[in-house]
Structure 1
């Protein structure tokens, strides 16, 4: 199995490069004409000062987006979507910033993930960041349709190739889209709207294993953090813990659908979650969630919510850093407050 080039260039990135180059040429011509014809308003400035002014003008020309206070607390809704034996998490801030982590399982003939996104994002709505933790079919599911149906601004993938037709369809959709493309690595930090995202894995020394190459992130808003670990195994969890990085979190999405091979004692002790979630399908052939993994959490008296029993699990993070949890399936509606 080979690794793709670290950087893919999508149509949107090409357009940005062309815009930057064009802006640079135009401003350089204007600056040069003003400099040599003596018409520059800053004629008394030194050459270095004029160069600095030119750089500021270039950045101003290229960055036309309105400044946003990214540190402001705002109510946020996190939906751990009922994706049967798949995984999909939709995160939405009050200002509209939207992050989708994974896109469910391909075998869902009802395309439930599309119905859910239509409901919560709106048909053709904007998704600021779409993270495919890895390229297994129960995580990239209908990713190609999401790329085609919605306005996706940026896509993250782990860079490890797969051989499935589902993966090929997704790559084609990404390449044809207007989305930017990134392969994040451990140690990198990102700001997406009001969300702070720390990348915990994978690293440059990847073993080309889909599960262990999962993009693992810690996402924080309003001082409330969550860990999303894809299908990474306990060996990856151990490496992250031993690296000394702070992974304390208010909640965790259990690795590999709650499998016994993930959510180790070390991971639980280091993250100290107040609750945990797993995404799995009823009567699945994999035995998810695993009894051992569930017992490890129960020993720490950590509440567990699962899509099998609870359907879609909705966590609302309030501006003051408290949160509430609503689970909806069957006759019960549960609400907890931190």
Structure 2
């Protein structure tokens, strides 16, 4: 088959019109040269890296940013309030210490107003000692349950070296964080000898938006939260215990009624997380699911009315 070509139709040009066109070209060249000399080159060439950052920062003004950091088979959430206050909940495992420091620097963090270690398991507090060593910290919250691990001891040492004292993380604690944002702990409700069920669970509200960050809270803790009568509804929910079958019971899920759920899970884990039963349960409730192992860092921001979701990949 012959190749099809398209030709533009035009009439012959007179010498007069050619002369006019030449004058227009010269004037245009002069105008562009003057524009570039006067510093208009940035607008002409498009935004530079610095102007792109400025635009992004402008877009984030007035927003609550909740960033679910990809720390492999662990958990960590970085919160940045509309007025620039910061909160870090957990910091992944020991092998993610430097990654945590680098990630916080990448987000422009030099101070953490609140640090929460949800419970003493290494995949949640492993990187907190390095974080506390490297950043100015306002307050530290942890539940009243200890561990004999070197990871836990190292964290306590870093807290002591900074002259900080651990505040108790438990249901009913209201965090003094940002006047525009309500931050309240809804668990642990009762004392347990199980570290997961002693997880600090934080509910954040900003305008009409709401988040429930659950740590590794399991069935026992979920039932205690349900029985407590506290408000648990949240549009965004961190799926408990990395998507384990021990968490996210149907009764709890129906009370929370999330629109979006995030599973903090590593691509390679021997636990088989997240469990298919949990994924099916979320799907049946029509919850939109995001996963660190598939999408990297996940940010769910809100201006108090709408959500703005971005993923690294």
What TM-score do the two structures reach when normalised by structure 2?
Answer: 0.77
Q: Does 1:97 align with 2:82?
A: no
Number of residue pairs the alignment of both structures matches = 252
2:198 match: 213
2:149 match: 164
Structure 1, unaligned stretches of length 5 or more?
Answer: 1-72, 330-338
Check conservation: 1:147, 1:173, Cα contact below 8 A.
Answer: yes
Paired residue secondary structure (1:153): strand
2:307 and 2:63 map into 1 onto residues whose CA distance is 9
1:41-190 mapped onto 2 (5 Å cutoff): 74-108=62-96, 111-122=98-109, 125-190=110-175
Paired residue secondary structure (1:155): strand
Check conservation: 2:69, 2:292, Cα contact below 8 A.
Answer: yes
Which structure ranks higher in relative contact order (CA pairs < 8 Å, sequence separation ≥ 6)?
Answer: 1
Give, in angstroms, the shift of residue 180 of structure 1.
Answer: 4.6
Give, in angstroms, the shift of residue 249 of structure 1.
Answer: 0.5
Moved over 4 A (4+): none
Structure 2, unaligned stretches of length 5 or more?
Answer: 1-60
1:235-274 mapped onto 2 (5 Å cutoff): 235-274=220-259
Q: String of CA shifts for 1:243-268, please: whole Å, max 9, x gaps.
A: 22221111100000111111111111
1:322 match: 306
1:181 and 1:207 map into 2 onto residues whose CA distance is 19
More helix by share: 2
2:192 and 2:299 map into 1 onto residues whose CA distance is 35
**Matching residue within 184, 188, 193 for 1:198:** 184
2:76 and 2:245 map into 1 onto residues whose CA distance is 20
Check conservation: 1:273, 1:302, Cα contact below 8 A.
Answer: yes
RMSD between aligned alpha carbons?
1.6
Paired residue secondary structure (1:191): coil
1:283 and 1:261 map into 2 onto residues whose CA distance is 20
Bigger Cα displacement from structure 2, 257-266 vs 240-249: 240-249
